[in-house]
Structure 1
Amino acid sequence: MDTEVTQSPSHLVKGKGQKAKMDCVPIKRHSYVHWYHKKLEEALEFLVYFQKQDIVEDTAMFKQRFSAECRQNSPCSLEINSTEAADSALYFCASSQSTVLHISSP
């Protein structure tokens, strides 16, 4: 039984102007995927939220800089369309609200 979210790759280094793609495999039977990022010394910041294959909520920053998809029976992906130095951050995916609350706890 899968009881955790799996993200890959664990580390990703890209030069300016390149595409950067990250994958997320949610907990089995969870139909939600949330993507967040956290820059050094800043709060966790929401990017996009899926229910199954549909985007439920996203942000203006997500629309300008990112793309994402969740296909049935495939990992969900988050892609930075053209990397900038400001994209340097930790990126997190979660498959439930309780997981998000756990990540953002001090």
Structure 2
Amino acid sequence: MDTEVTQSPGHLVKGKDQKAKMDCVPIKGHVHVYWYHKKPEGAFEFLVYLLNGKVTEDTAMFKQRFSAECPHNSPCGLEINSTEAADSALYFCASSQSTVLRVSSS
């Protein structure tokens, strides 16, 4: 039984104006995927929430240059369509609200 979320790649370096794609495999049976990012000296910031593979809630920042998808039986992807220096951050996905609450409060 899968009991953890798996993200890849572990480390990604891109130049300006490139595409950057990250994948997330949620816990088996979970239908929720949350994507957050965290700048070096900041808090976790919400980007997008997908339910059953569809974007259900997102932010203005997400709408500007990001896209997300969660195809059936495939990893969920988060893509930056045109990278900028400000995109340098830790990107985090979760597949349950309790995980999000634990991480964001630590």
TM-score category of the 2 structures, normalised to the smaller one: over 0.9
Question: What is residue 75 of structure 2 aligned with on the other side?
Answer: 75
What is the number of equivalent residue pairs in this alignment? 106
Q: Percent identity?
A: 79
Q: Secondary structure at the match of 1:101?
A: helix
TM-score normalised according to structure 2 size: 0.98
Which 5+ residue runs of structure 1 have no aligned equivalent?
A: none
Which 5+ residue runs of structure 2 have no aligned equivalent?
A: none
TM-score normalised according to structure 1 size: 0.98
**Structure-to-structure mapping, 1:3-82, within 5 angstroms:** 3-82=3-82
- Within 1, Cα distance between the matches of 2:95 and 2:53? 13
Q: CA deviation at 1:40?
A: 1.0
The one-letter code of the counterpart of 1:85 is A
Q: CA deviation at 1:54?
A: 1.2
CA RMSD of aligned residues (A): 0.6
Q: CA deviation at 1:41?
A: 0.8
4+ residue stretches of structure 1 with deviation over 6 A? Answer: none
Q: CA deviation at 1:105?
A: 2.2
